[in-house]
Amino acid sequence: MGSQWSRDKVYLRAKSEGFRSRASFKLIEIQEKFAVIRRDDNIIDLGAAPGSWLQVLRSLTDARVLGIDLNPIAAIEGIDTLEGDLTDPVIQQKAQEMLGIVNIVVCDAAPKLSGHKSYDQARSTALGEEALAFACNVLKTGGNFVIKSFQGADFPELLASVREHFHAVKTYSTKATRKGSTEIYIIAKNFKG
């Protein structure tokens, strides 16, 4: 990696602690603040590659953890993975068959960025809406949902959509997020079903 990464303390810490990316600390921080995951929760991680959130999820639950991504995910002990599109009904059905009850859906996915802020933000919101639709299709009533998004013109619409489906919804910017980033997480608890 280039010099950008050699100066990134969170990235260097992630590597030294055996995590696949700095994103691990974002999920750890979210769990510490909001307690979205219980020891017996079955969890689906959407957009799971390279697998850093899967590594953290494995330590937070004794139940089943499934990662779904368009790209292959290198094996992690105790983790199942599916390679495919989260909008594909076949993938959604396979995920439910593999886990049975789904208590939590998390999504740290982001579209490939073009550098055009408004375009990238719109694509991020569209991905968020797809992840929300997936969660609404598979989550059990009372389940939780955590999703990354980016603040911008379309963000309030996504936030409003999440609020329609969950009883408690908050937004949160993690300390591990790079300075200047518009990245924000939506923490949604107690799915209405």
CA distance 15 to 65: 22
- Does residue 189 carry a catalytic annotation? no
Query: What is the arithmetic mean of pLDDT over 68-93?
Result: 95
CA distance 40 to 110: 28
CA distance 44 to 193: 17
CA distance 32 to 46: 21
Q: Which two tokens stand for residue 113?
A: 């960025």
The pLDDT value recorded for residue 181 is: 79
Active-site position among 9, 148, 175, 179: 148
CA-to-CA dists, residue 41 to 62, 142, 154, 160, angstroms = 8, 12, 31, 26
- In CATH, the number for domain 23-191 is 3.40.50.150
The pLDDT value recorded for residue 124 is: 86
pLDDT single digits (tens) 136-168: 999 999 999 999 998 888 899 999 999 999 999
Residue type at 158 in one-letter notation: L
Check: pTM over 0.85? Answer yes or no.
yes
